[in-house]
């Protein structure tokens, strides 16, 4: 039971977070004034380009002007949460891989300067939207905001606190609020995101856990979930980008790598200062077995770093050199593989774990090169002539 519950928590938390190194901003009620609308657009642009301090400044200014608006509180909470994940190096790596290795090996050290405003905004959003629903249970904006607030809360509980039951409780509330909204207004397309996500994950679980959850009133369907998220990418408003990111993750888990890559390429064009998207494109090429294309994409990112392109100052160069080392090894270009692996230690983004993996791979390649040299030496020497 514990391992099955862990599987559900890991899968839902990863997908509720919305992306393999990607970010997601919930749909929100638009501000009334043109100046505030422009500020919101700038905040969203900063958010999707990993510029969290600028996004937080914009969202807090809007929130302070309208503190009882739960959508404004949700924007602030989401930006702080992603800043914490970004600072911890979580937005790239293995968080969204099928193995869920992140949940077994990493523990985020929370920055109190981020945790306090995050929880303050989340609790304010829930308090505000639930108060509005007491007055009017058909308030669509409040129903949506409550779902977003509980989804954000659940990802924090799942990823940061590792609280299985707290996570599940909040996640189910998020889903319930948006299901209620869709029953009232099936054209509120942004609200299909979380129910579609639930459908996909619950439909992907092992059969014993499916049966257990069925008796608890939960069931799902993978394809129905994918279609729900696709509907948000086509007809949603502020949640379109979030839906694209989720769709990428779903396609990855279904091994539809080419479909996932097409979506990420679109995201990369829309958010050129977000270096994570082109890295994901390269990773997807590798997953497709298109190693030459993957090498080209990783090399292009390194070139952007050298050119000091806007947004690329924090690129984890060490990780790229490691991936290029693996790819060139697979392509049997061992000398070039070694040159990349030798650059892992000391490069930006290097970690002790990555350096250990790199050192082990270097030893293997060096041993192979030595064997090749010995074999070449024997061949060049030729047979010993008889007396």
- pLDDT score at 211: 62
In this structure, of 26-35, 57-66, 371-380, the range with the lowest mean pLDDT score is 26-35
- pLDDT score at 2: 41
> Of residues 387 and 337, which shows the higher confidence score?
337
- pLDDT score at 144: 94
Q: Which residue has the tokens 């193995």?
A: 99
pLDDT tier at 87 (50, 70, 90 boundaries)? confident
- pLDDT score at 117: 97
Neighbour-count burial of 113, counting CB atoms closer than 10 A to its CB (0-12 exposed, 13-18 middle, 19+ buried): exposed
- Write down the mean pLDDT value for the chain: 85
Helices assigned H by DSSP within the chain: 2-16, 34-48, 52-65, 70-87, 101-105, 112-135, 140-156, 164-184, 193-204, 207-215, 222-235, 240-253, 257-270, 276-288, 291-306, 317-330, 334-341, 352-381
Report the alpha-carbon distance of residue 63 to residue 71 in Å, rounded. 9
Q: What is the mean pLDDT of residues 374-378?
A: 76
Please say whether the beta carbons of 324 and 317 come within 8 A. Answer: no
> Of residues 127 and 372, which shows the higher confidence score?
127
Q: Which residue has the tokens 């039971």?
A: 1
Percent of the chain exceeding pLDDT 70 equals: 81
Distances (CA, A) of 161 to 7, 29, 109, 247: 16, 30, 10, 26
Helices assigned H by DSSP within 88-158: 101-105, 112-135, 140-156
Nearest to 248 by CA among 11, 12, 22: 22
Q: Is the pLDDT of residue 165 over 90?
A: no
Report the alpha-carbon distance of residue 31 to residue 68 in Å, rounded. 13
- pLDDT score at 168: 78
Q: Is the pLDDT of residue 386 over 60?
A: no
- pLDDT score at 7: 42
> What's the pLDDT tens digit per position in 353-363?
899 999 999 99
Q: Is the pLDDT of residue 376 over 80?
A: no
Nearest to 145 by CA among 161, 163, 159, 124: 124
- pLDDT score at 90: 73
- pLDDT score at 52: 95
pLDDT tier at 98 (50, 70, 90 boundaries)? very low
Rounded to two decimals, what is the model's pTM? 0.85
- pLDDT score at 13: 47
Nearest to 130 by CA among 141, 146, 118, 115: 146
In this structure, of 158-162, 242-246, 259-263, 376-380, the range with the lowest mean pLDDT score is 376-380
> What's the pLDDT tens digit per position in 37-69?
899 999 999 999 999 999 999 999 999 999 999
Percent of the chain exceeding pLDDT 90 equals: 62
> Of residues 67 and 7, which shows the higher confidence score?
67
Q: Is the pLDDT of residue 380 over 60?
A: no
Report the alpha-carbon distance of residue 24 to residue 179 in Å, rounded. 20
Q: Is the pLDDT of residue 102 over 60?
A: no
> What's the pLDDT tens digit per position in 281-316?
999 999 999 999 999 999 999 999 999 999 999 999
Report the alpha-carbon distance of residue 243 to residue 230 in Å, rounded. 7
């Amino acid at each position: 039971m514990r391992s099955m519950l862990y599987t559900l928590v890991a899968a839902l938390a990863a997908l509720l977070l919305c992306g393999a190194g990607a970010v997601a901003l919930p749909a929100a009620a638009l501000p009334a004034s043109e100046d505030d609308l422009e500020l919101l657009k700038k905040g969203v642009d900063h958010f999707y380009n990993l510029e969290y301090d600028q996004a937080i400044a914009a969202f807090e200014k809007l929130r302070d002007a309208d503190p009882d608006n739960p959508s404004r509180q949700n924007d602030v909470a989401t930006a702080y949460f992603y800043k914490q994940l970004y600072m911890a190096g979580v937005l790239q790596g293995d968080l969204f891989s099928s193995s869920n290795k992140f949940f077994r090996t990493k523990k985020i050290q929370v920055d109190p300067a981020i945790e306090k405003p995050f929880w303050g905004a989340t609790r304010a959003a829930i308090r505000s939207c639930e108060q509005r629903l007491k007055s009017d249970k058909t308030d669509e904006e409040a129903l949506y905001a409550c779902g977003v607030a509980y989804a954000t809360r659940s990802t924090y509980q799942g990823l940061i606190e590792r609280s299985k039951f707290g996570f599940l409780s909040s996640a189910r509330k998020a889903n319930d609020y948006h299901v209620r909204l869709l029953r009232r207004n099936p054209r509120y397309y942004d609200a299909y995101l979380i129910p579609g996500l639930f459908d996909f994950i619950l439909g992907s679980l092992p059969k014993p856990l499916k049966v257990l959850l069925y008796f608890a009133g939960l069931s799902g369907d993978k394809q129905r979930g994918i279609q729900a998220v696709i509907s948000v990418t086509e007809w949603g408003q502020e949640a379109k980008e979030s839906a694209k990111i989720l769709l990428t993750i779903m396609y990855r888990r279904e091994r539809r790598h080419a479909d996932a890559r097409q979506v990420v390429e679109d995201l990369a064009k829309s958010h050129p200062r977000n270096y994570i998207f082109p890295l994901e494109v390269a990773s997807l090429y590798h997953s497709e077995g298109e190693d030459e294309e993957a090498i080209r994409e990783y090399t292009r990112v390194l070139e952007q770093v050298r050119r000091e392109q806007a947004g690329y100052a924090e690129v984890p160069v060490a990780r790229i050199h490691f991936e290029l080392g693996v790819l060139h090894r697979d392509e049997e270009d061992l000398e070039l593989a070694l040159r990349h692996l030798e650059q892992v230690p000391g490069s930006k983004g290097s970690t002790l774990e990555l350096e250990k993996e790199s050192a082990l791979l270097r030893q293997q390649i060096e041993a192979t090169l030595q064997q090749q040299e010995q074999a070449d030496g024997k061949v060049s020497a030729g047979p010993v002539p008889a007396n």
